[in-house]
């Protein structure tokens, strides 16, 4: 790295300053130290370092106060808080206030060097991407937009510390990818277990989530492990938690809160160590007001909240995602499709994308099935994308939720059958003529 990286270390204990300075001594790093937090903030404003390390408990000014001063001055400066009194709650609170990381004292030198190197590299990457307007691939998610880079940074910072996270976003935005990224970056050794909360019936909830013992009820001929125990030392992903029936929410709250499960028919609770990521497209605060979601469960799950933006708020990512999906489906279907024409990209960029990234994926998948060209053109895209009403949603006939679901199922069946209409009709349980009628209705015919 040609330019030196400046780091400010603030700690009222001179021994800590000496230890950290010696540990971070590198040719390309310039370390500035001070025992006075007020002087430290002034130093930060004067030299604008890439990184700041600050103790949490200091006389006159706390580390949180230092953090807030720096974030308000320049939010691009990464701040690491250090404390001898580490808890998950205080770590998450620090990160909520803008901290890049939160370390427990006495700081382990290898860990400190690792975190500093990662933050410096991440900071440099953001600078390079911003200056060259490049795309960033992060844990299976590709983006060029600043709003997504911010989300990626939040995931990186939260992953090592969280116990529960609430991921909010419209259907099709990629909340499951965020959950998987949190799991992978957390460093836990256990499994990533997915629960579709809208699909688990109330009567089977306890057995599915907490397990049961032999003889607990008719048909329970053997012990069964629940999903919480399956996710022990790992992550449980509660997809669409807002659809969970109120009666089951109290049972979930007890387990998340106490980290204990009681299998159906058992008298002995079992300890678990599970991180929970809950996702929803619903407004849970409104659901609390309407008494359809428990307030105490909401606050237990939303220790940290992440919002996945809709595709309409990150339009600069549309060409990038379209090209990525085209490459993916071309390989899957064994076709020589090289990309999209400028006109096709223009149509995609103008569309409203109410179904978000998932809708874009389905559109590109359908186009790759049906095209005979080496580039996807406007004629390969569904006709409704080219209609004026598709771009702004303010005019023309609206598609009902039922019709949107029907169209999605058709798209998926055609994609799974690689365009074979007879096979697609069989998978949907309808006749070929009925399939062609529906394809014509939804502009899915060539």
pLDDT at residue 405, as a whole number: 67
Structure tokens at 368: 């790759």
Secondary element (H or E) of residue 122 = helix 109-132
Which is it for the CA torsion 24, 30, 34, 38, positive or negative?
A: negative
DSSP H stretches of helix in 133-245:
146-158, 175-186, 205-210, 227-230
| Contact between residue 193 and residue 231 where contact means Cβ atoms under 8 Å apart | yes
- Mean pLDDT, contiguous 10-residue spans, the chain (446 residues): 82 91 85 94 93 92 92 86 84 83 88 86 68 71 88 89 93 96 94 90 83 82 90 96 88 92 89 96 93 94 92 93 94 93 91 94 94 92 73 43 69 78 76 70 67
SS3 167: strand
Rounded distance, CA 294 to CA 284, Å?
9
Name the phi and psi angles at 211, rounded to 5. 85, 180
Closest CA to 122 of 187, 78, 165: 78
CATH classification for the domain delimited by 146-307, as one of 3.30.70.1560, 3.40.50.300, 3.20.20.450, 3.90.180.10: 3.40.50.300
Rounded distance, CA 293 to CA 247, Å?
10
Residue 393: partners with Cβ closer than 8 Å, 6 or more residues away:
352, 354
| Contact between residue 77 and residue 44 where contact means Cβ atoms under 8 Å apart | yes
Q: Per DSSP, what are the bridge partners of residue 5?
A: 29
Q: Do domains 5-132 and 146-307 have the same CATH topology?
A: yes
User: How long a stretch of residues is the chain?
Assistant: 446
Closest CA to 410 of 377, 440, 379: 440
> Is the preceding omega at residue 106 within 30 degrees of 0, hence cis?
yes
Closest CA to 414 of 375, 374, 355, 371: 371
| Contact between residue 261 and residue 270 where contact means Cβ atoms under 8 Å apart | yes
Rounded distance, CA 197 to CA 194, Å?
9
Query: pTM for the whole thing?
Result: 0.71
CATH classification for the domain delimited by 312-441, as one of 3.40.50.300, 3.30.2320.50, 1.10.8.60, 1.10.3720.10: 1.10.8.60
Rounded distance, CA 209 to CA 196, Å?
11
Domain 5-132 is found in CATH 3.40.50.620: no
| Contact between residue 54 and residue 11 where contact means Cβ atoms under 8 Å apart | yes
DSSP letter at 292? S
pLDDT at residue 130, as a whole number: 55
Residue spans of the domains in the chain: they are 5-132, 146-307, 312-441
pLDDT at residue 300, as a whole number: 93
SS3 279: strand
């Amino acid at each position: 790295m040609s330019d030196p990286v400046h780091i400010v270390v603030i700690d009222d204990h001179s021994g800590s300053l000496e230890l950290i300075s010696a540990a971070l001594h590198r040719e390309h790093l310039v370390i500035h130290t001070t025992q006075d937090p007020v002087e430290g903030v002034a130093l930060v404003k004067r030299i604008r370092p890439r990184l700041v390390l600050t103790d949490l408990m200091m006389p006159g000014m706390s580390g949180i106060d230092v953090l807030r001063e720096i974030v308000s001055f320049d939010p691009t400066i990464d701040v690491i808080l250090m404390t001898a009194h580490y808890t998950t709650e205080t770590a998450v609170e620090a990160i909520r206030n803008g901290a890049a990381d939160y370390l427990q004292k006495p700081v382990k030198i290898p860990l400190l060097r690792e975190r500093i190197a990662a933050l410096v590299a991440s900071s440099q990457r953001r600078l390079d991407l911003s200056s060259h307007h490049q795309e960033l691939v992060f844990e299976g998610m590709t983006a060029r937009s600043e709003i997504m880079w911010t989300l990626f940074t939040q995931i990186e910072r939260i992953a090592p510390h969280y116990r529960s996270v609430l991921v909010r976003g419209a259907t099709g935005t990629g909340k499951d990818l965020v959950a998987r990224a949190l799991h992978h970056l957390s460093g836990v050794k256990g499994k990533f277990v997915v629960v579709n909360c809208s699909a688990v019936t109330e009567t089977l909830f306890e057995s599915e989530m907490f397990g049961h013992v032999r003889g607990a009820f008719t048909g329970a001929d053997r012990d069964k492990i629940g999903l919480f125990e399956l996710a022990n030392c790992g992550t449980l992903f509660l997809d669409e938690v807002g659809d969970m029936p109120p009666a089951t929410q109290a049972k979930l709250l007890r387990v998340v809160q106490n980290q204990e499960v009681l299998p159906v028919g058992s008298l002995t609770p079992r300890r678990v160590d599970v991180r929970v990521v809950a996702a929803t497209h619903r407004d849970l605060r409104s659901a609390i007001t309407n008494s359809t979601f428990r307030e105490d469960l909401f606050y237990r799950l939303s220790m940290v909240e992440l919002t996945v933006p809709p595709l309409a708020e990150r339009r600069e990512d549309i060409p990038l995602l379209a090209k990525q999906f085209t490459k993916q489906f071309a390989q899957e279907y064994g076709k020589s499709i090289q990309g999209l024409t400028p006109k096709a990209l223009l149509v995609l960029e103008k569309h409203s994308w109410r179904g978000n990234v998932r809708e874009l994926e389905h559109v590109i998948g359908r186009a790759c099935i049906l095209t005979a060209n080496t580039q996807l053109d406007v004629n390969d895209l569904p006709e409704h994308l080219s209609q004026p009403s598709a771009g702004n949603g303010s005019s023309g006939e609206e598609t009902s939720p039922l019709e949107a679901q029907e169209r999605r199922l058709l798209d998926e069946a055609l994609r799974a059958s690689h365009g074979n209409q007879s096979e697609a009709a069989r998978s949907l349980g309808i006749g070929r003529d009925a399939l062609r009628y529906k394809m014509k209705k939804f502009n899915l015919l060539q």
